[in-house]
Amino acid sequence: MDATIIDGSAVSTRLRSRLERELATVRRSGGAPGLASFVVGDDYAAHAYERRLRKLADSVGCRFQAEQLPADIEPADALATIGKLNADPRVTGILVLRPLPPQLSEVQLYATLDPLKDVEAVHPVNAGLLARGTPRFVPSTPASCFWLLDDYFRRVERDPLTGLRGATVVVVGRSHNVGRPAVWLALDRGAVVIDCDEHASAAGRLGEFTRQADVLIVAAGVPGLVTGDMVGDGVIAIDVGINAVPDLATGGVRLVGDLDFDSVATRAEALTPVPGGVGPVTDVWLVRNAVLGAVLQQTDLAIGPWPGP
């Protein structure tokens, strides 16, 4: 089978044009979007992500600020920093980046966020709204998975609104920011949903479930976890994983996903590459959510959580 490679960079370029138009509309109605990142310690990937977001925000004219805190920060000081961002009218979206050091509770930090600035929908109220199908914010990574799927469906002349009804969507991974919200978004579209985490793998059952997928979303953070023998013919596979592995050719590192791309491509109808798949769309979506945050500060809503086609 000749699999279609879903080009996330091209989709992201189109989403970025839409973001620029939306930003102009929001500005005209008096909104002033600003994204703030919250990073603790010196994790390389978190800092690289923050730099990438700053570059994107700068290039579209969205204010960006980074709160960089030392790895040994006291929990009270970390919570106070969130409080400061909540109170700052220039900040309309707050992104808490992981990993967090052991003295900080992810759940407590999330619960401290102003729900109107919680662009990744990790505050219990926003997670609840998302889970019941009435999201305030659609978190950037799972949103990107479904935005890419919608785009692909349109290209093959399938209706994105109905394309997943009765289909089996298998999600591998169950984190608060990716796996769980991906499950909720799939449920909203009328899919039959199976979610697997590391225990399914430990039980030796992962392939049993992934082989059932019409659409497979993999977000485990394990390089090459899903191989060609673990998928059915004609699967549409979305690879969220970003893993740095040694590059034997250069002696450096290279990024790979959670799919074993070459073997899955022999069976798939379509799949996303890493890099160049989910990642570029996620970045734009996150900045868009900060723009939506600016809208939520106003009463007159100029844009909504899920844009039209």
Let me know: does 272 contact 251? Beta carbons within 8 Å: no
> To the nearest whole angstrom, how small is the minimum distance from the Cβ of residue 45 to ligand NAD?
7
Q: In this chain, which stretch among 81-89, 115-123, 126-134, 195-203 interacts with ligand NAD, using CB under 6 A?
A: 195-203
Output phi, psi for 39, to 5 deg: -125, 130
Which residue from 159, 198, 208, 233 is in contact with ligand NAD, where contact means CB under 6 A? Answer: 198
- The β-bridge partners of 37 are 66, 95
Q: Where are the beta strands (DSSP E) in the chain?
A: 4-5, 34-40, 63-69, 93-96, 168-172, 192-196, 215-218, 236-239, 243-246, 253-256, 270-271
Is 41 or 190 the residue whose CB approaches ligand NAD more closely? 41
DSSP codes joined into one string, 55-106: HHHHHHT-EEEEEEE-TT--HHHHHHHHHHHHH-TT--EEEEPSP--TTS-H
> To the nearest whole angstrom, how small is the minimum distance from the Cβ of residue 90 to ligand NAD?
26
Is 66 or 222 the residue whose CB approaches ligand NAD more closely? 222
Is 188 or 197 the residue whose CB approaches ligand NAD more closely? 197
Please state whether beta strands 215-218 and 168-172 pair in parallel, antiparallel, or not at all (unpaired): parallel
Which residue from 109, 196, 216, 237 is in contact with ligand NAD, where contact means CB under 6 A? Answer: 196
Is 190 or 224 the residue whose CB approaches ligand NAD more closely? 224
> To the nearest whole angstrom, how small is the minimum distance from the Cβ of residue 21 to ligand NAD?
23
> To the nearest whole angstrom, how small is the minimum distance from the Cβ of residue 206 to ligand NAD?
6
Let me know: does 279 contact 242? Beta carbons within 8 Å: yes
| Tally of residues, the chain | 309
Q: Is 99 in the site for ligand NAD (CB under 6 A)?
A: no
Which residue from 12, 112, 126, 141 is in contact with ligand NAD, where contact means CB under 6 A? Answer: 141
**DSSP symbol at 116:** G
What mask, x for binding ligand NAD by CB under 6 A, covers residues 206 to 245? x------------xxxx--x--------------xxxx--
Q: In this chain, which stretch among 35-43, 84-92, 125-133, 197-205 interacts with ligand NAD, using CB under 6 A?
A: 197-205
